[in-house]
Amino acid sequence: MLGTIVGLLVIGLVAGFIARALVPGKQHMGIGATLLLGLVGSFIGGFLGKLLFGSDSGSGFVQPSGWIGSIIGAIIALLIWISVRRRSHA
């Protein structure tokens, strides 16, 4: 159980950092916010994967499609966050 939680945190942190690197501009986020971004991105990516492809038939915990979905979801979450933040400061 602890290994699963640590694994999810690592995947979230890596997905958040990659999303921040791929989205242009400077995001004022600390490590905690980056971790949260990656975790939210994992949920978004998982939801979109289920919506597009139905139930997953994967047997492993860490799969390349999961990483890609987490990164895409984190990019979507970051773009939404930037848009909302920009509107609230305007």
* pLDDT tens-digit readout, 34-43: 999 999 998 8
d(CA 13, CA 58): 22
pLDDT for the residue 17: 94
| Arithmetic mean of pLDDT over the chain | 84
pLDDT for the residue 20: 93
Please answer whether residues 35 and 19 qualify as being in contact, where contact means their C-beta atoms are separated by less than 8 angstroms. no
Better-scored residue on pLDDT, 13 or 88: 13
Better-scored residue on pLDDT, 58 or 82: 82
pLDDT for the residue 25: 87
Q: Structure tokens of 25?
A: 């501009």
Q: Structure tokens of 83?
A: 């848009």
Q: Averaged over 6-31, what is the pLDDT?
A: 89
